[in-house]
């Protein structure tokens, strides 16, 4: 839909993101799939197609400048967020989507097929049961309630030199104070997500 294209382009410009026509087309195709499937399968609590642009697509893409890894796993990916928007904009980066909810994994498989995302692998499995053949140097999530939970459930997926990328709302002072000695906060970035209210942060954590 033209109005969604205009909104997406406008908000991408606001976060200094330059995309090709093909990437805009893929993002809008993904958005249309999400709107369609959400009516039946309740993939996200966000109902408004306009809000999905800012709160899902742009929120996911706001971390793009900070993704400096060789292989990324998106844990608790839900309908593929942030993994699918990132995969569209970084076709060179292998991204694994991990979720234990069968409806959400089915949607991920459908989106991967319809968008032709050769760099995406979909894994339907509980995080504690998934044992990859090769560990990831980047673990990202926007779904975990706390940093402690994220680290507890995903440590076995991350290489020793790898990085944990936690997408959060407000800066989680108490959670950071409770980090184990084996983990340190490498960097914290306040994200600019146009069209949304409230703070957004990306926390980058690594082993000490």
Supply the CATH number for residue 186's domain.
3.40.50.150
pLDDT, one tens digit per residue, over 6-33 is: 999 999 999 999 999 999 999 999 999 9
Separation between Cα atoms, residue 27 and residue 87, nearest integer Å: 10
Residue in the structure block whose two tokens are 């093909």: 22
Helix (H, G, I), strand (E, B) or coil at 199: coil
117 to 33, 35, 82, 102, 108: CA distances (angstroms):
14, 19, 14, 20, 11
Average pLDDT over residues 68-94: 97
Domain count, the chain: 1
Give yes or no for residue 115 having a pLDDT over 90.
yes
> In which domain, by residue range, is 187 found?
1-207
Q: What is the pTM of this model?
A: 0.96
DSSP 20: -
Residue in the structure block whose two tokens are 């800012």: 54
Cα end-to-end distance, the chain, whole Å? 48
Q: Residue 1 — very low, low, confident or very high, per pLDDT cuts 50/70/90?
A: low
Closest by Cα among 161, 104, 103, 98 to 128: 98
Q: Residue 145 — very low, low, confident or very high, per pLDDT cuts 50/70/90?
A: confident
| Percentage above 70 pLDDT, the chain | 100
**Strands ordered across the beta sheet of 158-168:** 120-124, 95-99, 72-75, 136-141, 158-168, 201-207, 183-190
Closest by Cα among 138, 170, 175 to 154: 138
């Amino acid at each position: 839909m033209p109005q969604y294209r205009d909104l997406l382009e406008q908000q991408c410009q606001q976060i200094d993101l330059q995309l090709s026509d093909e990437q805009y087309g893929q993002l809008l195709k993904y958005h249309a799939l999400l709107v369609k499937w959400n009516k039946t399968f309740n993939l996200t609590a966000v109902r408004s197609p306009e809000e999905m642009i800012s709160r899902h697509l742009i929120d996911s893409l706001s971390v793009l400048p900070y993704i400096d890894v060789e292989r990324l796993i998106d844990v608790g990916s839900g309908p593929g967020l942030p993994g699918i928007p990132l995969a569209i904009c970084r076709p060179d980066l292998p991204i694994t989507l991990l979720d234990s909810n069968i409806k959400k994994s089915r949607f991920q498989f459908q989106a991967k097929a319809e968008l032709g995302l050769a760099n995406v692998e979909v894994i339907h499995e509980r995080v504690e049961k998934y044992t990859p053949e090769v560990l990831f140097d980047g673990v990202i999530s926007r779904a975990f309630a706390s940093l402690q939970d994220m680290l507890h459930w995903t440590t076995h997926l991350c290489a020793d030199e790898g990085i944990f990328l936690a997408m959060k709302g407000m800066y989680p002072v108490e959670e950071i104070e409770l980090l184990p000695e084996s983990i340190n906060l490498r960097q914290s970035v306040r994200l600019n997500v146009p069209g949304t209210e409230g703070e957004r942060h990306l926390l980058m954590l690594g082993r000490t």
